[in-house]
Amino acid sequence: MTRRPLVAGNWKMNGLSASIGELERIVAGARMLANVDLMVCPPATLLARFAGAARGSHVAIGAQDCHAQPCGAYTGDIAAEMLKDAGASAVIVGHSERRQLHDESDATVRAKALAARRAGLTAIVCVGETRNERDAGRAHEVVGAQLEGSLPDGGHDFIIAYEPVWAIGTGVTPTPDDVRGMHGFVRARLAARFGQMAEAIRILYGGSVKPSNAKELLTVEQVDGALVGGASLKADEFLAIAGVYR
Ligand code: 13P
């Protein structure tokens, strides 16, 4: 089975209305990239504007988090249905920054992934071990448990992002062999749980992806694209990363 690659940009808490120009450059550049899906995940404040600017292009717009409930007394939170209404087609759930800074458990992440499904959004479910966990030889065990607890049953309509926590924003990346090992492990776990259907699930790599290392990381077997943080804020860098699939 051939999975169409996806390069998604997670803007995190960056971007003001003036950033629309960067998105427009991404949309323009995407016309040259027929073999890869592109996605930009801006902060919620820019979703509707970005969705309008990307309409008709093959750049999808995603959100960075959602609440598990469809509505209610949850001051400051945003429901998956609201993200969909604003023009998102996907939502990142369980990013390590949410797991660490907002104490999100696997059960919370699973509830959010189910909310995404309910609203008609594709969940991008993030998993990844810390440096200590890797050094202790527990990377596969930790990621296996996160997959077990965070993925919903009853479908295979999500995307996985493997993001080793120690590679996020550090400039340090795993070796291609380590990436191959982990993506192969995730693929095997998906196959064990979802059977043949697991073949359709894309597994992205995330953590310090830059134009200079994109080819080495994204051409590894079982890597179906990237979830890019810092380098996705600049259209030129983001497009250069996606250009690996030219
Ligand atoms: P960086 O690309 O800035 O390391 O961030 C990766 C990430 O967390 C994407 O979700």
Q: Compute the average pLDDT of residues 223-227.
A: 98
**CA dihedral of residues 28, 32, 34, 35 (deg, nearest 10):** -110
Query: What DSSP letter does each residue of 60-113 carry, written as one string?
Result: EEEES--BSSSSSS-TT--BHHHHHHTT-SEEEES-HHHHHHS---HHHHHHHH
- Among 22, 67, 81, 95, the active-site one is 95
Is-catalytic flag, 133?
no
Homologous superfamily of domain range 6-88+107-245:
Aldolase class I (3.20.20.70)
Residue 94 Cβ < 6 Å to ligand 1:
no
Give the pLDDT band (50/70/90) at residue 144.
very high
The 10s digit of each residue's pLDDT in 86-110 is 999 999 999 999 999 999 999 999 9
Mutate to test the pocket of ligand 1, among 100, 129, 168, 173 (most ligand atoms within 8 A of CB): 168
The 10s digit of each residue's pLDDT in 63-89 is 999 999 999 999 999 999 999 999 999
What count of other Cβ atoms lies within 10 Å of the Cβ of residue 204? 24
Is-catalytic flag, 163?
yes
Q: Does the pLDDT value for residue 1 go beyond 90? A: no
Domain boundaries in the chain? 6-88+107-245
- Among 104, 163, 183, 237, the active-site one is 163
Does pTM surpass 0.85? yes
pLDDT of residue 2: 85
Per the CB < 8 A criterion, the answer to whether 112 and 94 are in contact is yes
